[in-house]
Amino acid sequence: MSEVKQMVKELANQYGRSNESLLPILQGIVTKELHISEEAMIEVARELDMSAAQVYGTATFYSFLDTRPTGKYVIRVCKTITCMMHGKNQIIRELENLLKIRLGETTHDGVFTLLETNCLGQCHKGPAMLINELPFTELTPEKVRKIIIEYRNREISAN
């Protein structure tokens, strides 16, 4: 059995095989694989006995269900109004400089992807961002530098 097949099967065992299991399974794939490949979508359709078109339709609707490869850590900076007022552009510039990528890109080593997102529900502590699921708030360029160094160090000690 291919790796993808195995993973989808395990997720279906965990969350079930009904329509209501689709979103949790797709979320599970993103957690494990960082993105949902076409192969995975076809496998989910087979496992849940639904059309691949439905899986594709659902997977592409949600902004957190990445269907293109991303880095291990996806950084999503809030670009909505109060974060914009409190300097999110400066935060993005700092991140672009630190990671040497532009918005929407992934670092060469595949560790970080930099994206923008809409309001994170942290507006009283803007600017705010998520790294995978963890929120970071009241950001300043210095704070962002520290956070990125910490994540990089974690990568180095993991390898």
Helix axes 22-33, 52-59, angle to 10 degrees: 70
Cis peptide bond upstream of 141, omega within 30: no
Please tell me whether residue 131 binds ligand FES under the rule CB under 6 A: no
**For residues 101 and 123, which CB has a smaller minimum distance to other proteins in the complex?**
123
**For residues 22 and 98, which CB has a smaller minimum distance to other proteins in the complex?**
22
Please tell me whether residue 92 binds ligand FES under the rule CB under 6 A: no
What minimum distance in Å lies between the beta carbon of 100 and other proteins? 26
CA 146, CA 7: separation in Å to the nearest integer? 35
Please tell me whether residue 123 binds ligand FES under the rule CB under 6 A: yes
What minimum distance in Å lies between the beta carbon of 108 and ligand FES? 29
**Residue ranges binding other proteins (CB under 8 A):** 18-24, 26-27, 50, 54, 57-58, 61-65, 79-82, 84-85, 117-126, 130, 133-135
Please tell me whether residue 122 binds ligand FES under the rule CB under 6 A: yes
* The dihedral formed by the CA atoms of 92, 97, 98 and 99, expressed in degrees to the nearest 10: 80
Are residues 156 and 150 in contact, defined by beta-carbon separation less than 8 angstroms?
Answer: no
Which residues are within 8 A (CB) of 104 and not within 5 positions of it... i.e. 6 or more apart? 114, 115
**For residues 16 and 87, which CB has a smaller minimum distance to ligand FES in the complex?**
87
What is the separation of C-alpha 110 from the centre of its chain, rounded to a whole number of angstroms?
Answer: 13
Please tell me whether residue 126 binds ligand FES under the rule CB under 6 A: yes
Q: Which of residues 43-82 bind ligand FES (CB under 6 A)?
A: 78, 80-82
Nearest to 34 by CA among 7, 6, 61, 2: 7
**For residues 107 and 137, which CB has a smaller minimum distance to other proteins in the complex?**
137
